[in-house]
């Protein structure tokens, strides 16, 4: 339930009451397999692509009972060209980065052979580099369509790293502009601390994550939910065709369903710091406290400070 509204330019901000946030956080603490009450910042690493697809499926599963028989939620897959981290002689624990050119130690290769009757001096290269290569990265969206006419009513986008940097960001921005020109609601879920943010008129309060809702009848206004790293994810409305009411989407329950299904807590490296960008000092200390309380880290020795 929205109890506060702040207007900033063309952006509407919905800030949940502090008292309700504390109550929900206590409830989630005993249920979440993740040691965090809301989004798990460690999912931004190598597990993101798998989590992204699982989350899209969980959102569809949650919405379907509220949509039938008039509507249906479908998973739509498209491919975006990306330049991923080059894995040549890479250490498995290295961070996920997106280099333009990557310099590596020259591999040991057999010497170039030349005909025995030709005396040719072959110069040794000063360095060996890897050319940037592109690959198609799958991106899942949730489409809500009316059954009778197959009309796209609401598009739910879960942003990925490929949507938030370089050519992928520009491609997504153009796609977003095209959607905003149609009579389709657009719900964007940004559970990544890294990369570009959605371009809006008006300053948003600083937050780790954001959810954006553009109702086609109210454009150019956009509803925004800023979300702290330390709080549960909100329940947000999913609009349908008038006069049908909005359908609630409990994002925290959707993330919980992903952990219940896969058990990501068994696959994430909680002994290390979260993937970039680096956390601020207070958030880093909070993360360390959460991990120790959940038994994923040992308490630092007396007189020592844990480095995040």
pLDDT, tens digit (0-9, with 9 covering 90-100), for 252-282:
999 999 999 999 999 999 999 999 999 999 9
d(CA 41, CA 219): 32
Residues 6+ away with beta carbon under 8 Å from 168: 80, 81, 82, 137, 161, 162
DSSP string, 128-155: EEE----EEEEEEEEEEEETTT--EEEE
Residue 13: the pLDDT is: 59
Is the peptide bond prior to 158 cis by the omega test (within 30 degrees of 0)? no
pLDDT band for position 12 (cuts 50, 70, 90) = low
pLDDT of the residue at 88: 36
For residue 64, the model assigns a pLDDT of: 98
Question: Quick one: what percent of the chain has pLDDT higher than 90?
Answer: 59
Most confident of the following: 87-96, 98-107, 254-263: 254-263
Averaged pLDDT, 294-304: 73
Answer yes or no: is pLDDT of 89 > 50. Answer: no
Beta bridge partners of 79: 138
pLDDT category, 15, cuts 50, 70, 90? low
pLDDT of residue 181 exceeding 90: yes
Average pLDDT, rounded, for the chain: 81
Residue of 268, 273, 304, 284 whose CA lies nearest to 43: 268
Pairing between β-strand 209-214 and β-strand 185-190 as defined by DSSP bridges:
antiparallel
Q: DSSP code of 19?
A: H
> What does DSSP assign to residue 266?
G
- 224, containing H or E segment: strand 222-227
pLDDT of residue 18 exceeding 60, the answer is: no
Question: What pLDDT shows up at residue 118?
Answer: 62
CA distance readout (Å), 277 to 41, 147, 174? 10, 42, 26
- How far is the C-alpha of 295 from the C-alpha of 89, rounded, in Å? 34
- Nearest alpha-carbon partner for 176 in 205, 191, 206, 197: 197
For the chain, which residues make up each domain, given as ranges? 5-85+132-293
Instruction: Judge whether residue 172 has pLDDT over 60.
Output: yes
The answer, yes or no, to whether residue 306 has pLDDT greater than 80, is: no
């Amino acid at each position: 339930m929205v109890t506060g509204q702040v207007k900033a330019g063309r952006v509407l901000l919905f800030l949940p009451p502090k008292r309700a946030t504390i109550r929900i956080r206590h409830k989630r603490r005993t249920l979440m397999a993740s040691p965090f009450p809301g989004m798990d910042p460690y999912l931004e690493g190598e597990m993101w692509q798998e989590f992204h697809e699982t989350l899209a499926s969980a959102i569809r599963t949650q919405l379907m009972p509220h949509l039938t028989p008039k509507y249906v939620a479908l998973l739509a897959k498209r491919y975006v060209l990306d330049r991923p981290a080059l894995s040549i002689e890479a250490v498995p624990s290295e961070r996920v980065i997106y280099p333009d050119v990557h310099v590596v130690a020259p591999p040991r290769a057999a010497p170039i052979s030349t005909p025995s009757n030709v005396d040719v001096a072959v110069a040794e290269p000063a360095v060996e580099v890897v050319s940037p290569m592109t690959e198609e990265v799958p991106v899942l969206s949730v489409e809500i369509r009316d059954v009778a006419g197959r009309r796209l009513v609401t598009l739910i986008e879960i942003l990925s790293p490929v949507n938030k940097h370089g050519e992928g960001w520009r491609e997504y921005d153009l796609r977003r502009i095209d959607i905003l020109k149609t009579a389709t609601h657009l719900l964007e879920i940004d559970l990544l601390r890294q990369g570009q943010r959605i371009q809006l008129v008006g300053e948003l309060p600083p937050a780790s994550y954001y959810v954006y809702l553009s109702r086609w009848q109210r454009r150019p206004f956009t509803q925004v939910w800023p979300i702290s790293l330390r709080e549960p994810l909100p329940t947000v409305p999913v609009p349908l065709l008038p006069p049908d009411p909005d359908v609630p989407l409990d994002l925290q329950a959707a993330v919980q369903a992903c952990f219940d299904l896969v058990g990501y807590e068994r696959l994430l490296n909680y002994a290390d710091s979260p993937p970039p960008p680096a956390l601020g000092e207070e958030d880093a200390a909070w993360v360390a406290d959460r991990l120790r309380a959940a038994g994923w880290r040992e308490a630092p020795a007396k007189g020592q400070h844990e480095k995040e």
